[in-house]
Structure 1
Amino acid sequence: MRHSYLMLIAVVLFFGLVGCRSEEETAEVFMPKFFTDHMVFQRNQPIRVWGDGTPGQKVVGTFNNQQKDTRVDADGYWLLEFDALPASGPYELDINGKKIRDIQVGDVWVSGGQSNMEWVMSGEVEGLAEEVADAEYPLIRFFKIPHDYDAKAKYDVRGGQWVQASADNILSFSAVAWFFAKRLHLEKGVAVGIIESNWGGTPAQGWTAAEKLLEMDAYRDKAKDVLDRQDYWIQEVIDNKVRELKRNDLVLAPQNGEIQGVVNPDYDDSAWQTVNLPADNPLKDIAWFRKKFTVNQTEGVKLNLGDIQQMAYIYLNGGRLLFKDFGQSLNEFVIPAGMLKKGENLLSVRIVNTWNNAPVLGKEGQFYVKESNRTISLEGPWKFSNTIEESLPVVEWHNWLPGMMYNAMIAPIVKYPIAGVIWYQGESNTGEHAHYRQLFGTMIQTWRESWGIGDFPFLFVQLANFMERKPIQPDSNWAFLREAQTQTLELPKTGMAVTIDIGEADDIHPRNKKDVGIRLWQAARKVAYGEEVVHSGPMLKSAKVEGGKVLLELDHVGEGLVLSDGGKSVKGFILAGSDGNFVLAKAEITGKDQITVFHPGIKSPTEIRYAWADNPEVNLYNSERLPAVPFRKTLGD
Structure 2
Amino acid sequence: MKKQLIFVFLFCISTIVLHAEVKVANVFGSHMVLQRHQQNPIWGTANVGEKITVSIAGQLHKTVANRKGEWRIQLDAMKAGGPYKMIVEGENKIVFEDILIGEVWICTGQSNMQWSVENSNHAELEMLSANYPKIRLISIPLVGVSEPQTDIKEANWVACSSETIPKFSAAGYFFGRRLHQILDVPVGLINASWGASSLESWIPRDAIEKKYKHKEFLEDWDWRINQFTDQMLIDYTKKYEAWEKAGKPGQKKRPPRDIRIGQNRPANAYNGVIHPVIGYGIRGSIWCQGESNLGRGDQYSELFPIMINSWRERWKNGDFPFYWIQIASMKEPDLEPENSSWAELREGMSKTLSLPNTGEVISMDVGEGNDIHYRNKQEMGNRLARLALDDTYNFKIEGRSPRYKSMEIQGNKITIQFDNIDQGLYAFNSSIVKGFSIAGENQKFVWADAKIIGKNKVEVSSVGIKNPEAVRYAWSNKPVSNLIDRNGLPVACFRTDKWQIPSEGKVLAQKRYKYPNSKKD
**1:634 partnered with 2:484:** no
1:33 to 8, 26, 31: 26
Counterpart-to-counterpart distance in 2, 1:496 and 1:416? 24
**Per the alignment, do residues 224 and 584 of structure 1 end up closer, same or farther by CA in structure 2, a change over 3 Å counting?**
closer
1:119 to 115, 122, 127: 115
Counterpart-to-counterpart distance in 2, 1:86 and 1:307? 60
Per the alignment, residue 380 of structure 1 pairs with none
Per the alignment, residue 59 of structure 2 pairs with 66
Q: Secondary structure at the match of 2:276?
A: helix
Deviations 1:105-160 (A, max 9, x none): 1111010000000001112x112122123210011111101111222111101231
Superposition deviation, residue 485 in structure 1: 1.0
Per the alignment, residue 458 of structure 2 pairs with 595
Counterpart-to-counterpart distance in 2, 1:26 and 1:38? 28
Superposition deviation, residue 399 in structure 1: 3.3
Counterpart-to-counterpart distance in 1, 2:273 and 2:285? 14
Q: Secondary structure at the match of 2:22?
A: coil
1:356 to 251, 255, 271: 255
Q: Is the 8 A contact 2:83 2:100 kept in 1?
A: yes
Per the alignment, residue 482 of structure 2 pairs with 619
Counterpart-to-counterpart distance in 2, 1:158 and 1:243? 29
Counterpart-to-counterpart distance in 1, 2:443 and 2:250? 42
**Per the alignment, do residues 417 and 309 of structure 1 end up closer, same or farther by CA in structure 2, a change over 3 Å counting?**
farther
1:105 to 101, 104, 115: 101
Counterpart-to-counterpart distance in 2, 1:50 and 1:396? 30
Q: Secondary structure at the match of 1:284?
A: helix
Map 1:293-312 to 2 at 5 A.
none
1:552 to 416, 419, 422: 416
1:171 to 160, 166, 175: 166
1:440 to 291, 304, 307: 304
Structure with higher Rg: it is: 1
Q: Secondary structure at the match of 1:431?
A: coil
Q: Secondary structure at the match of 1:195?
A: strand
Per the alignment, residue 387 of structure 2 pairs with 523
Counterpart-to-counterpart distance in 2, 1:472 and 1:417? 49
Q: Secondary structure at the match of 1:634?
A: coil
Which residue identity is paired with 1:46?
A: Q
Q: Secondary structure at the match of 1:628?
A: coil
**Per the alignment, do residues 146 and 483 of structure 1 end up closer, same or farther by CA in structure 2, a change over 3 Å counting?**
same
**Per the alignment, do residues 622 and 210 of structure 1 end up closer, same or farther by CA in structure 2, a change over 3 Å counting?**
same
**1:191 partnered with 2:147:** no
Counterpart-to-counterpart distance in 2, 1:502 and 1:308? 30
Superposition deviation, residue 225 in structure 1: 8.6
Superposition deviation, residue 489 in structure 1: 0.7
Superposition deviation, residue 433 in structure 1: 1.4
**Per the alignment, do residues 182 and 288 of structure 1 end up closer, same or farther by CA in structure 2, a change over 3 Å counting?**
closer
Per the alignment, residue 504 of structure 2 pairs with none
1:483 to 329, 336, 347: 347
- CA RMSD after TM alignment: 3.1
Superposition deviation, residue 472 in structure 1: 3.3
**Per the alignment, do residues 289 and 148 of structure 1 end up closer, same or farther by CA in structure 2, a change over 3 Å counting?**
closer
Q: Is the 8 A contact 1:608 1:635 kept in 2?
A: no
Superposition deviation, residue 218 in structure 1: 6.8
**Per the alignment, do residues 427 and 227 of structure 1 end up closer, same or farther by CA in structure 2, a change over 3 Å counting?**
closer
1:77 to 49, 70, 76: 70
Counterpart-to-counterpart distance in 2, 1:68 and 1:396? 42
Per the alignment, residue 207 of structure 1 pairs with 202
Q: Is the 8 A contact 1:210 1:224 kept in 2?
A: no
Map 1:380-395 to 2 at 5 A.
none
Deviations 1:393-451 (A, max 9, x none): 96656432221111111111112121000000011112211211110010000000010
Per the alignment, residue 425 of structure 1 pairs with 289
**Per the alignment, do residues 458 and 289 of structure 1 end up closer, same or farther by CA in structure 2, a change over 3 Å counting?**
closer
Per the alignment, residue 277 of structure 1 pairs with none
Counterpart-to-counterpart distance in 2, 1:83 and 1:227? 44
Counterpart-to-counterpart distance in 2, 1:448 and 1:126? 34
Superposition deviation, residue 458 in structure 1: 0.3
Superposition deviation, residue 228 in structure 1: 12
Per the alignment, residue 610 of structure 1 pairs with 473
Per the alignment, residue 494 of structure 1 pairs with 358
With structure 2 as the length reference, what TM-score do the two structures score?
Answer: 0.85
Deviations 1:192-236 (A, max 9, x none): 11111111111111100101111456763454698999xx99xx9
Per the alignment, residue 136 of structure 1 pairs with 131
Which residue identity is paired with 1:108?
A: V
Q: Secondary structure at the match of 1:399?
A: coil
Per the alignment, residue 267 of structure 2 pairs with 403
Counterpart-to-counterpart distance in 1, 2:134 and 2:498? 52
Per the alignment, residue 445 of structure 2 pairs with 582
Per the alignment, residue 366 of structure 1 pairs with none
Per the alignment, residue 48 of structure 2 pairs with 55
Per the alignment, residue 181 of structure 1 pairs with 176
Q: Secondary structure at the match of 1:442?
A: helix
Which residue identity is paired with 1:616?
A: P
Which residue identity is paired with 2:492?
A: V
Deviations 1:251-288 (A, max 9, x none): 9xxxxxxxxxxxxxxxxxxxxxxxxxxxxxxx622667
Bigger shift: residues 150-159 or 456-465: 150-159
**Per the alignment, do residues 610 and 285 of structure 1 end up closer, same or farther by CA in structure 2, a change over 3 Å counting?**
same
Superposition deviation, residue 568 in structure 1: 2.3
Bigger shift: residues 436-445 or 54-63: 54-63
Q: Is the 8 A contact 1:139 1:192 kept in 2?
A: yes
Q: Is the 8 A contact 1:61 1:95 kept in 2?
A: yes
Counterpart-to-counterpart distance in 2, 1:226 and 1:510? 31
The count of corresponding residues between Structure 1 and Structure 2 is 479
User: What is the percentage of aligned positions where both structures have the same residue?
Assistant: 34
Per the alignment, residue 284 of structure 1 pairs with 240
Q: Is the 8 A contact 2:54 2:86 kept in 1?
A: yes
Which residue identity is paired with 2:389?
A: R
Counterpart-to-counterpart distance in 2, 1:64 and 1:452? 25
Per the alignment, residue 4 of structure 2 pairs with none
Counterpart-to-counterpart distance in 1, 2:170 and 2:447? 36
Unaligned residue ranges in structure 2 (runs of 5+): 1-16, 500-521
2:375 to 482, 504, 511: 511
Bigger shift: residues 532-541 or 431-440: 532-541
Counterpart-to-counterpart distance in 1, 2:255 and 2:242? 12
Which residue identity is paired with 1:483?
A: E
Per the alignment, residue 258 of structure 1 pairs with none
Counterpart-to-counterpart distance in 1, 2:244 and 2:347? 44
Q: Secondary structure at the match of 2:486?
A: coil
2:278 to 401, 409, 414: 414
**Per the alignment, do residues 495 and 36 of structure 1 end up closer, same or farther by CA in structure 2, a change over 3 Å counting?**
same
Deviations 1:503-542 (A, max 9, x none): 0011000111110111111111122112232112211122
Q: Is the 8 A contact 2:53 2:61 kept in 1?
A: yes
Counterpart-to-counterpart distance in 2, 1:552 and 1:501? 21
Q: Which has the higher strand share?
A: 1
Q: Is the 8 A contact 1:577 1:606 kept in 2?
A: yes
Q: Is the 8 A contact 1:55 1:76 kept in 2?
A: yes
Unaligned residue ranges in structure 1 (runs of 5+): 1-23, 252-282, 291-304, 311-352, 358-392
Superposition deviation, residue 474 in structure 1: 3.6
Superposition deviation, residue 48 in structure 1: 1.7
Per the alignment, residue 400 of structure 2 pairs with 536
Bigger shift: residues 52-61 or 525-534: 525-534
Superposition deviation, residue 598 in structure 1: 0.6
Q: Is the 8 A contact 1:26 1:59 kept in 2?
A: no
Superposition deviation, residue 47 in structure 1: 2.4
